[in-house]
Amino acid sequence: MHELVETRQAGRISLVAATAADARDTRQGKDVVVTRGSTFENQANLAPTFLAAVRQRYEGTRLGRQELNAELLSDNPGALWQMDWLDRDRVSAAPELRRIVVAIDPAVSNNEGSDETGIIVAGVARDGQVYVLEDGSGRYAPHEWAAKAIDLYRSYKADRILAEVNNGGAMVEATIRALDPRVSFKAVHASRGKVVRAEPIAALYEQRNVHHVGGFAVLEDQMCARSRRILIAQRSATHPIVSTRWCGR
């Protein structure tokens, strides 16, 4: 079967994945062919005045890379995270970790239109570098996300489960304790907005202090699509990464 995807709208991570332009896609060169055509390849069919005008306006800009040079850009310029950072510092295995946590950001409901419950496993090494080990996020009923978090806590021999409790209050801890009263649990009360909490974590990524162990396609697409405006209005699986700042405590 052959499929043709034609676009001039870049900056769409899902499209990058579909065309194997993302370096993580192992199909490149096997069953996916990417063909690009720049504006300049078609200049014989364009009015000189038009060509001069668009070059003057867009050449050398990000939009020009997309519209003139036919680059399929995978980054969102307004996002707190960039895919290049994640790929640059990705590792295949974590070193010995001195502390591991399972962080949860529970959704307030679990119907079809609900937000995900974010569940992230992360650890900190002896040199202070942070490693994201697993993304267990999804749409769960309360007993389901509690069971998922406990399973990860046990399988990674984690030191603690962290949970943001602004929405659920004591219910979050009670749900976990009902399944296993012996787990080490700490509630995280967010006193500041999502952007204020997320920006220092994004800075750690930019400074090469956070590494993803393997690939987390859904999580990473969410991270790199989240602008400051969207982060204010919407929860996502990225929020437990904010809570992993407690790793070293």
Domains observed in the chain: 13-67 (no CATH), 83-248 (3.30.420.240)
pLDDT at residue 136 above 60?
yes
The answer to whether residues 108 and 117 touch, using CB atoms and an 8 Å cutoff, is: no
Residue 172 has which token pair?
């979050």
Rounded Cα distance, 124 and 9, in Å:
39
Highest mean pLDDT among 8-12, 83-87, 166-170: 83-87
Across the range 162-188, mean pLDDT stands at 84
Rounded Cα distance, 221 and 198, in Å:
16
Highest mean pLDDT among 78-92, 102-116, 193-207: 78-92
Across the range 178-186, mean pLDDT stands at 94
Rounded Cα distance, 132 and 30, in Å:
30
Query: How confident is residue 9, by pLDDT bands cut at 50, 70 and 90?
Result: very low
Query: How confident is residue 242, by pLDDT bands cut at 50, 70 and 90?
Result: low
Across the range 85-94, mean pLDDT stands at 92
Higher pLDDT, 246 or 89: 89
* pLDDT recorded at residue 179: 96
Q: Kindly report the average pLDDT of the chain as a whole number.
A: 76
pLDDT at residue 144 above 50?
yes
pLDDT tens-place string over residues 96-132: 999 999 998 887 666 666 678 889 999 999 998 999 9
Across the range 21-28, mean pLDDT stands at 45
Q: pTM for this structure?
A: 0.68
* pLDDT recorded at residue 228: 53
* pLDDT recorded at residue 66: 72
Taking every pair of Cα atoms in the chain, the longest distance, rounded to a whole number of angstroms, is 74
State the distance between the two ends of the chain, measured CA to CA, in whole angstroms: 53
Across the range 214-230, mean pLDDT stands at 74
Sign of torsion over alpha carbons 74, 135, 210, 28: negative
pLDDT tens-place string over residues 61-76: 656 777 788 876 666 6
pLDDT at residue 214 above 50?
yes
C-alpha Rg value of the chain to the nearest Å: 21
